[in-house]
Structure 1
């Protein structure tokens, strides 16, 4: 009855500007509702409308393509003018953890401006297609040269694809309990196994990089590094669909385990654990080095998958650079921080570990350093490049799988919104770091021997300062004990 009251209170017309959808699972079936109607979403793709009209009638992963259509449709829109790929599957995954899943999840409208409650100029987290669309580029030996392909994948496909490229047999793409992964290796875009050389794989994540703008800038000559990858491989125009919610730590974990949040346990950037009776905040500078602690026992990282099939030697088999979800990696930035007692202990004991952002050779506009998150992102990503170059000092000692996470792209898109100068500066400087690494490999004479996968953890949309409001008063008026983490994860107490 409490959940019914919460849903009813959040789906009134006066909250329609800020509440896009309310979703939950009942009797193992996904449900979605808003002021227009309520629907049951079955795994076979059928929609059973319970009242009004279907609020999530469109699940097309290729909606708002080509890119010009996305740019033209960037204004406020109701759910019936939007698309929600894999809605049932993604909702059910979010509600798959009995201790950590909320009772109800609230989805902000695409243009909701909630900066007073943790929001930004650029936003993500939604079930909708644009906030869920991450880029996906494959390049190098073992990859078919197809250019830009009018298809899509899912972010849970990344781990199995990296694993197969690194030499893991497809039959071993399973979690720690032996169950099949949620994702699949994208073998349709790969050459036959016998045509692949000794594997050397580099996975790159540009956090929050906007899929459409990334491909647009690459095709128009503004991202020469990405263009070099495309010359030797392919990109999916529809990108890769993030898990829900389309937030950072949920999808970093899905990318690197091949399973959704209901299985790996990292449900959001912040959530509540009923068993521990504590608030968990994995997406924070003070806790990133601990993020792998919150993985459920059944989850298995791609580093663990690869290490099971690569003999241990003097050099790392797997490396995780600036990535929170690093469990099993032979080399990990977060492992170094854990050994030092955390980020604060490391910096106080060893001085400022991060380079001066004003001296960065990749910074285009010094005025952008006024944004504190952007400034920090420049520092972290410069240090990340240093680590990658050290790992690849000689090709003989380089890891079989290198994972390299970058953060300034998330800062640029949060601070300015997609297509802003801040966002595009972040893409261009990340591309310049990529070019520096490609040139390094070229100088070693091994560029043609390295396979690349470039992706992100979610997409982005711009918020609208005129679309304000909060659903908190509606929840408070019910007189029901609750927690609203995120905000958007409603736990009934």
Structure 2
């Protein structure tokens, strides 16, 4: 009854500007509602309208393509003009953890601006297609050279694809309990490596990189590094669909485990653990290095999958650069942070080791360094490139699988919104680091022997400063004890 009261309070027309959808699960069926109506969403793709009209009328993962269509649809829109790919699967996954899942999840409208509750000029987290669309580019040895492809994948497909590229048999794409992963290896785009060629894979994550803009800039010559990758492989126009919520740590974890949040346990950047009776905040500079602690039993990272099939030598089999979900990697930046006590530890902290962002050769607009997050992102990403050069000092000792995460792209899109000069500066400088690394591999004579996969953890949409408001007063008026984490995860107490 409390949940019904919460849903009713949040789906009134006067909250329609800020509440896109309210979603929950019951008896293995996903539900979605807003001021227009209520629908049950089944795993077979069928929609059972309970009241009003279907608020999730489209699940098209290729909606708002080509890119010009996305730009034209950038204004405020109701849910019936939007698209919500894999709605049932993603909603049910979020509600799959008895201790950590909320009772109800609130989806912000695409234009909701809520800086007083942690929002930004650019936003993500929604179930909708644009905030859920991450780029997916594959290139190099073992990848079919198809160029731009009118297709899509899911972010849970990344781990099994990296594993297969690194030599893991498809029969071993299982979690620690022997269950199949949620994702699948994208073998339709892969080719056998020449006999005797050593497998070396580099996975790259540009946090928050906007798919449409990234591909547009690559095609128009503004991202020559990405263009080099596409010329030797492919890019999916529809990108890869993020898990819900389309936020950072949820999808970093899904990318590197091949399972959704209801199985891996990292439900959001902030959530509540009923069993531990505590708020969990994995997406924080002070806690990133601890993120793997919150993985559920039975979860298996791609580093663990690969290490099971690659012999241990003097060099690392797997390496994780600037990535929170690094469990099992032979080399990991976060392992160094754990040993040091974090970035800002009183003794031995690594914060003082970060390079001066004002001296970065990759920053195009110095004024963007006035944004603290952007400034820190430049520092972290410059240090990340240094680590990549060290790991790949010579080809013989390079890891079989190297994972390289970037931060500044998320900072640029949050600070300015997609297609802003700050966002594009972040993409261009990340591309320049990619070019530097590709040139380094060319110098080693191995660039054609390496397989690359470039992706992100979510998409982005621009918030509208005129679309403000909060659902908190509506919840408080009910007089029902609750927690609102995120905001958007409603836990009934």
TM interval, shorter chain, is over 0.9
Paired residue for 1:471? 471
Q: 1:351 to 1:267 in 2, by over 3 A?
A: closer
1:182-201 matches, cutoff 5 A:
182-192=182-192, 197-201=197-201
Q: Is the 8 A contact 1:340 1:346 kept in 2?
A: no
Per-residue deviation, 1:349:
4.7
Per-residue deviation, 1:194:
6.3
Q: Give distance in 2, aligned partners of 1:346 and 1:474.
A: 43
Per-residue deviation, 1:341:
1.7
Q: Give distance in 1, aligned partners of 2:347 and 2:150.
A: 46
Q: Give distance in 2, aligned partners of 1:30 and 1:216.
A: 35
Q: Is the 8 A contact 2:342 2:350 kept in 1?
A: no
Q: Is the 8 A contact 1:337 1:346 kept in 2?
A: no
1:55-454 matches, cutoff 5 A:
55-192=55-192, 197-345=197-345, 349=349, 352-454=352-454
Per-residue deviation, 1:195:
6.3
SS class of match (2:345): helix
Q: Is the 8 A contact 2:342 2:349 kept in 1?
A: no
TM-score, normalization by structure 1: 0.99
Report Cα offsets for 1:15-34 as digits up to 9, x if no partner: 00000000000111000000
Q: Give distance in 2, aligned partners of 1:249 and 1:136.
A: 18
Report Cα offsets for 1:388-419 as digits up to 9, x if no partner: 00000010000000000000000000000000
Q: Is the 8 A contact 1:142 1:195 kept in 2?
A: no
Q: 1:232 to 1:282 in 2, by over 3 A?
A: same
Report Cα offsets for 1:161-184 as digits up to 9, x if no partner: 000000000000000000000000
Q: Give distance in 2, aligned partners of 1:176 and 1:194.
A: 31
Paired residue for 1:41? 41
Q: 1:404 to 1:196 in 2, by over 3 A?
A: farther
- Give the paired residue count: 493
Q: Give distance in 1, aligned partners of 2:195 and 2:56.
A: 43
Q: 1:432 to 1:193 in 2, by over 3 A?
A: closer
Per-residue deviation, 1:343:
2.1
Q: Is the 8 A contact 1:484 1:490 kept in 2?
A: yes
Q: Give distance in 2, aligned partners of 1:158 and 1:456.
A: 10
Paired residue for 1:491? 491
SS class of match (1:344): coil
Per-residue deviation, 1:207:
0.1
Computed over aligned residues only, the root mean square deviation of the Cα atoms, in angstroms, reads 1.0
Q: Is the 8 A contact 2:340 2:350 kept in 1?
A: no
Report Cα offsets for 1:81-120 as digits up to 9, x if no partner: 0000000000000000000000000000000010110000
Per-residue deviation, 1:59:
0.2
- Which stretches in structure 2 are left out of the alignment for 5+ residues? none
Paired residue for 1:482? 482
Q: Is the 8 A contact 1:347 1:353 kept in 2?
A: no
Paired residue for 2:5? 5
Paired residue for 1:15? 15
Q: Give distance in 2, aligned partners of 1:197 and 1:207.
A: 31
Per-residue deviation, 1:342:
2.0
Per-residue deviation, 1:353:
1.1
SS class of match (1:309): coil
Q: Is the 8 A contact 1:141 1:450 kept in 2?
A: yes
Q: Give distance in 2, aligned partners of 1:253 and 1:195.
A: 33
Q: 1:196 to 1:3 in 2, by over 3 A?
A: farther
Q: Is the 8 A contact 2:341 2:349 kept in 1?
A: no
Per-residue deviation, 1:76:
0.1
SS class of match (1:433): helix
Q: Give distance in 2, aligned partners of 1:198 and 1:36.
A: 56
Q: Give distance in 2, aligned partners of 1:255 and 1:9.
A: 35
Q: Give distance in 1, aligned partners of 2:454 and 2:265.
A: 24
Paired residue for 1:24? 24
Per-residue deviation, 1:351:
6.6
- Which stretches in structure 1 are left out of the alignment for 5+ residues? none
Report Cα offsets for 1:113-138 as digits up to 9, x if no partner: 10110000000000000000000000
Q: Give distance in 1, aligned partners of 2:347 and 2:243.
A: 34
Q: Is the 8 A contact 1:145 1:231 kept in 2?
A: yes
Report Cα offsets for 1:241-281 as digits up to 9, x if no partner: 00000000000000000000000000000000000000000
Q: Give distance in 1, aligned partners of 2:181 and 2:71.
A: 35
